[in-house]
Each structure stands twice: as C-alpha cells, then as structure tokens.
Structure 1
Amino acid sequence: MPVHRERVDPVRDEEHLGLVHRRWLLPDDVQRPVSLQQAGRLWRGLLELAVLDAGQEALVRRLRPGGAAEELEMPAAASSGALLGGSGAANLVTQVTWTDDEERRDPYALEGEPDPPGYRDYTLYAIDAAAWLLLPIVPLARLCAACGRRAALELPRFGDGAILDLSLVCSCGAAFDLGRDKAELKGGAVFLLEELACRAALSIELPRAPQSEELPDAQLAQLLREAFGGTDELADDAVAPAE
C-alpha cells in the first residue's frame, strides 16, 4: 500500500516580500510508473481545457545522466509531443499564463473568479531516467536508516525541484531506501523519502496560496488521475519565484 503523503508546509525564514506559493500535484505512489506518453497526454489535456495557451510558446528542458542540460522554446501546441523525445532523461515543460486572459481556465477559481488573480506558472516534470527521482521540495539532509547518520544533500537542481540519484550511497555503503530513509527539510521537518519523491509532477505557481486546499477543478483533477493514478498535493509557501 502506498504511504499517504500529508501536506508539506516547510517553515521558511525568508522575508515574504516578493515570494510566491507553489502547489505540487504528483502520484501518491513513488513506485508507480508514469510514461512519457502519459505525461504528454496530460500536457495536451491542459491545452485542450484552455488551462494553457496554445497560441503562445512553451519552454522544454531536458537533462540526461552525464550530459549537459538542453533547452528549447517552441509553440505550446507542439510541446506535448516534444516530451516523447526525452527517453532516459529528466524532462520538464513549462508555460506562464495570466488570469486576466478571459480565455484561460483557472484550476483554483472560486465561483468563476480566479483565486488569486494574477499569473499561473505551470510546469510538468517527467523523469524517465531509471536511477533518478524528482524531489519537488528540496531537502537539506538524508537520515540513513541503515546507520543512523545525518548527511547533507547537495542535489542538482532541475526546475524548481532537485534530482535524487538512487545510485549514490551513504558513507556506510547503504543505498537509498525510500521506505526507510528520511529527509530533513529546511526548518527541521522530517519525512520519509518516499513521501517526497516522485517520477512525475505538475507544479502550479501562484502569487499567493489559493483558498482551496485541494484542486477544485473536477475536469483537471480527472485529467491528473488519468495520467498519475491516485494523487497527492504538496504545498510550498513563501518560496522564490521560478526563474
């Protein structure tokens, strides 16, 4: 049975001025595969629902083990197909929209009004490298279940998350054990690694936290279930905007 992920709200000590809110929607079981085809259908569905703007461009980024990052801007209508070229790599595709565009659909709208008004930064992540996972909320340290040691984690960033390389080992020689190893977040909160890791995720950045704790848009929620199966939602508040 998958471990249920509780909402993650790490304590942050930055000044809140200029900081934003980010929601992460991800499969509720880190072991559940999500193919590039499934990710592509999800992104295409966001275009068809007018959550994204098919008339504008999207940015595709790709990182392969041992390789340099690739980045390509393209028409959003073609970006879902571009994910299919990311076999063996970490992939993301992203687009920013604005709620004052009357043709755009806001997944967090309440009674037909955007909540909050402003922009939405949508990013879909799909990790197809066998030894990699995505950590949406980047931990400071690993607590090894085998030896009990706390070891600082310096993970390569990818988008607004980080890549966890499962081929790395603790100083005691133990490989990562997602169900037993723990991750320490900024502020001291501790979670099992399997509660934070995923192979695919959709992040939505907003100017501030919406009133709804869960996604109120039923059609988008169904689209996510078709791509991810059961889902969890992580919240990261008072974070720096995506670059």
Structure 2
Amino acid sequence: MTDLNNKVAIVTGGGKGIGAAISMELARNGVKVVINYNTSIGSAEKLIMDIKEIGGDAYAVQADVSNLEESKKLVEEAIDHFGRIDILVNNAGITRDSTFKKLSEEDWRTVIDVNLTSVYNTTSAALSYLLESDAGRIINISSIIGQAGGFGQTNYAAAKAGMIGYTKSLALELAKSNVTVNAICPGFIDTEMVQEIPENVREKIVAKIPQRRFGQPDEIARGIIYLCKDGEYITGQQLNINGGLYM
C-alpha cells in the first residue's frame, strides 16, 4: 500500500462534477491537490475552501488543457507551488452531442481536443516529474461510451475510446518505471452532464442499469484512491464503474 500523505496530484477539470469529487477524496487521503479549471473559477475556489476546512491543501490553476502551452503552464505552476508531481488525473471533458449527419467539424475538433489531445498535452508536460516519483500514477477518466458507443456521440466516443488505447500503449512504455497508467470508465454518473438529459430519457437509462441507479461522483473518486494506494501492480487496465451496464 502506498502512503499518499504529501503526494501531489493534478486533476484536470477538477473544479466540479467528478473532478471535484476526485480532488476532495485525494485531499482527504493527504494528497496536495492542484485543481485545474478552464472557466469554472467559482467552483474551483469554493472547492479549495472546502478542502482547507478538512485540513487539506489545494491550489487552483486556470488552464485550457486542450492547448499544449497552457498545459505546460499548469505543470510549471504545480511544480512552483508544491515542488513535485506524483499523480496526474486526466479528467477534463466536454460533450457536443449530435447525430453524425449534423455534426460540425468544429464540434468534432473541440471534443477531440478537450477530451483526448489534452491527455497528450498534460502527460507530456508532467511525465519527467512523474518519473521522479516513487509511485507515479497516471489515471485517465474515459467513459462507458468509449467502450460501447453512444447514439449521437461519435466525437465523444472516439475521444474516450482513444483514451483507452492511449492508456494501454503508454502503460507498456512505462511498465519498467515507477509510473502506472490506467483508465477509469464511468457509466452514467449523477453530475450536471447527466442531469441535463431529459427526464424521460434518464428513466430509460436507469431501467437498463442492472443496479437500477446512476452512480455517484464519490464512487469514481474512490476508484482513484484504490489505484493510487493499492495499484502498484495494476497498469494498462480499465476500471469499469458503471453499475453493471457494460461488462
């Protein structure tokens, strides 16, 4: 078991939703958290206050991780503030859903850049520091949609499936180092993104989930802690947290 006290984590898209739950759970386990946000400064600042109330340590950095130079800035600020990076959680993600016939090039590129290219950007910027850690962890938040597909989500599915292939390949390259690389594939989690789905569609989704409920963000966060604490011999894997919807 790895002691997480005073480890340092970057969580992209860490200010709200699943990212906020991950940031909070890492802080509860003694990790110093760099909360990356792009536009949600209010959520990030509130989260920092909540983390400090439980005795944790967190720092917020604005950066658009779909941009390589801003990703480098994010990593540099993390190093300037905390002096090290042990954990990188690639969680930043957006949707621009549309049937393929109506899917614009802009919506294709934007989703690919934010959800997939960002993973290259942050990892390339942080890897040298992760390799210096005695227990480096790269955890990519993919999706059940990347495994099973989703109607009107060719862009999102392509990005999330790409994250899975990326995870496996990078895990092979880093297997002889102290850095593990894994993906978590959430199912339908009760966040703002899912709450925006029309109620009648939500009911149909729940009916298909064997556990008959949406997941909670903290259930994804506990998966992160498992991989960070007990995952020294786990790499290149997909941890499916989906209530049995995809097996």
TM-score computed with the length of structure 2 as normaliser: 0.25
Which structure's relative contact order is higher, taking Cα pairs within 8 Å and 6+ residues apart? 1
- Name the one with the larger strand percent: 1
Determine which structure has the larger helix proportion and give its number: 2
